[in-house]
A and B are shown apart, each in its own frame.
Chain A
Amino acid sequence: MTDHDLERWLSQLRKGSLEMVVLATLSGERLYGLEILGRLETLGVSEGTLYPLLNRLRKEGQLESEWETRESGHPRRYYRLTESGRARAEAMARRWREYNHQLDELMRPLLEGGSR
C-alpha cells in the first residue's frame, strides 16, 4: 500500500464517521456552519461536504436550525440536536466505542510486534 492509497483509505474512514462526528460536535451547544467546520478542520472536512450533510440531517429531523440576525453582516444559521438526533448520536457513540474496543483487541499484536 502506497502513502497515497493509505491517505485514500483514511479519508474513506473519516467520511464514514462524518455523520456521527457532526452530531457529536453539536452535543453540547448550538453552532453555525463555520464554527462546526472550524472544529472539524483537523479531520479534513470541507464546506462542500458539510453543508449538504447538515441540510439532510435537518430534513431527517436530527437537527433543527434557527436564523440569527446580526447588527452588521449576514445572518447566521445555528444548528442544534433534536431529541431524536441526540438519541441517534448517543447510540452511534456507544456502537463506535464497542467497535473500537474490538478493533483494539485485534490490532494489539500488530502494534506490539511493530515496537519490538
Chain B
Amino acid sequence: MRHDERMEQEIQRYVSRLRRALSGLGESEVDDIALEIRGHIAECVEGSDDPTSSARRVLEALGDPEELAARYQTEAVLARGRAGRSPLAVLQAVQRWAMEGLFGLLIFLAGVAGYGTAIALVGMALLKPFFPHHVGFWWSPPEMVILGVAGGPPDPRLELLGWWIVPLGVVAGCLLWVGMTRWLGALLRRFRAFVSPLEVGRAAGGDQGAP
C-alpha cells in the first residue's frame, strides 16, 4: 500500500506542477486540462497489474510537466499570433520562437527594436509641444546628427523639421508599428510552419493565410 500512496503523491505532484506551468491560460481551461491529464493517468494505471511501473510509464510518455505545459502554451500562442493582428500576440509568439534558437532570437530582437523605435517616434512627436527647443532633427554631419530629444538645446538654425516633426513622427511611428506587426505575422506563418511540427499539418492542409 505504501507504494500506491507514494505513486499517488507523485501523480498529484505532476498535476500541480502542470497547473502551475499552465498559468497564463484561462482558469477554466487549466482546470479542464488538469482534470483531463489526471484522468488519463488514472485510466492508464487502473487496469494494470503493476500500477507503479505503468504510472511511471505514463508520466514518462507525457514528458516533463513544464515541457507539456510549454507545448500547450506554444499551441495557444501560435494559434493567436498567426491569426491575429495584435502586436502583443505576435510578439509573444516570437518570444516563444526566440527561446528555441538563434534565428528566432534575432527576429525577436528585431521585433523589440522595431516596436521600441515606433514608440520612441510617437513619444518624440508628443514631447515637441512641451519642449519645443529640445525636440527636433539637427543635421550637421559629421559633428552632429540628432533626431529626437537633445539635452542642452543645439543651435536652432541647424534644426530641419520644425513643427513638422509632430505629424511626421506620429505617421512614421504608426506605420512602423503596423508594418512590424505585419512583418512578424508573415514570418511566423512562413517559418513557424517548419519549426513546430504540429503546425506543419496546417500549412500542408492549405492555410488561406499563407502567402
Contact = CB atoms under 8 A, between A and B. Distances in A.
Interface of A: 12, 15-20, 33-34, 46-49, 51-53, 55-56, 59-60, 65, 67, 73-77, 88, 91-92, 95
B61 A17 contact: no
B67 A75 contact: no
A95 B62 CA distance: 32
B68 interface: yes
Contact of A74 (B38, B75, B201): B38
Contacts, number: 96
B194 to A, nearest CB: 10
A77 B133 CA distance: 66
Nearest to B35: A75
Q: What is the size category of the interface that chain B forms with chain A?
A: 20 to 34
Given A15-B200, A88-B205, 17 more contacts: A20-B201, A20-B205, A34-B44, A47-B58, A47-B61, A48-B62, A51-B36, A51-B68, A52-B68, A52-B74, A55-B76, A56-B78, A67-B35, A74-B43, A75-B39, A92-B206, A95-B205
Contacts of A18: 197-198, 201
B63 interface: yes
A12 B197 contact: yes
A44 B159 CA distance: 67
Contacts of A74: 35, 38-39, 42-43
B76 A73 contact: no
B72 A73 contact: no
